[in-house]
A = this chain, B = another copy of it.
Amino acid sequence: MCPGLWDSRVEAAMNKSRVETFSDGVFAIAITLLVLTIAQPIDYRDLAHQLVESWPSLAAYVVSFLVIGIMWVNHHAIFSHLREIDRGFFYWNLLLLMTIVFIPYPTEVFGEALRRGEGAETAAIFYSVTMTVNALTWSGLWLYASLNRRLLVPEFPEEQRTTSTLLFISGTAVYTVSIAIAFVSPYACLVFQGGLALYYAFDPISRRAERARRE
């Protein structure tokens, strides 16, 4: 690698748009690799039965696909409020991508465990822990960028900053709750995860805030 080469010229080259494009690529690949997590049938003599039985793999695929797709939108939401990025932000973003790229792994384990009817509780916990760690890195990224308005654009409203910080922290709390749900029922946990994704997709809080600001 190349120590001694990083200076202000490099800093300029590592600008927001380049990091965003790289992250977009990682999102696009991670979301597409999800298809490899769906269990292949083994016995083709009773294929119909095998395909029907692999519905949990498919359900896990759908949930994780929505999750990563919505995260992609939200990644842009954060970037669009930033004035610039720095090295610290770059590494927080790398950590975040690391947890997102990881998602296909617990997705496969979760789907397979539900399909086999073995270890489903453990798999649901594993999936929920992954999502909680992911939520933590989102919060870290946000706090790094927004504390003392380090990287925020000047026009970003101060009260929205407070609201968003609170919502990030509560989001992490909600994902922690999903771990508890996994202990109760793996299926309930999958539904809960899907519901959370949809909640973030419709994002009623942003909508209300936007409406309030307009009035």
By a beta-carbon cutoff of 8 Å, the part of chain A in contact with chain B is 1-10, 12-14, 18, 21-22, 24-36, 38, 40-41, 44-48, 51, 61-62, 65-66, 69-74, 76-81, 90-91, 94, 97-98, 101-102, 104-105, 108-109, 112-113, 116, 118-119, 122-123, 126, 135, 138, 142, 160, 163-164, 167-168, 171, 200-201, 203, 205-207, 209-210, 213
- Residues of chain B with a CB closer than 8 A to A171's CB: 1-3
Contact across chains for B51 and A122 when beta carbons are under 8 A apart: yes
Q: Which of B1, B32, B126, B160 interacts with A26 by CB under 8 Å?
A: B32
A35 CA / B105 CA spacing, docked (Å):
7
- Residues of chain B with a CB closer than 8 A to A21's CB: 24
Contact across chains for A29 and B29 when beta carbons are under 8 A apart: yes
Query: Known contacts A22-B72, A29-B28: does B167 contact A3 (CB below 8 Å)?
Result: yes
Contact across chains for B209 and A77 when beta carbons are under 8 A apart: no
- Residues of chain B with a CB closer than 8 A to A206's CB: 3-7
A213 CA / B8 CA spacing, docked (Å):
11
A204 to chain B, nearest CB (A): 8
Q: Which of B4, B38, B62, B164 interacts with A160 by CB under 8 Å?
A: B4
A84 to chain B, nearest CB (A): 15
Contact across chains for A13 and B80 when beta carbons are under 8 A apart: yes
Contact across chains for A2 and B77 when beta carbons are under 8 A apart: yes
Chain B CB count within 10 A is highest, among A22, A66, A201, for A22
A38 CA / B72 CA spacing, docked (Å):
24
A49 to chain B, nearest CB (A): 9
A125 to chain B, nearest CB (A): 8
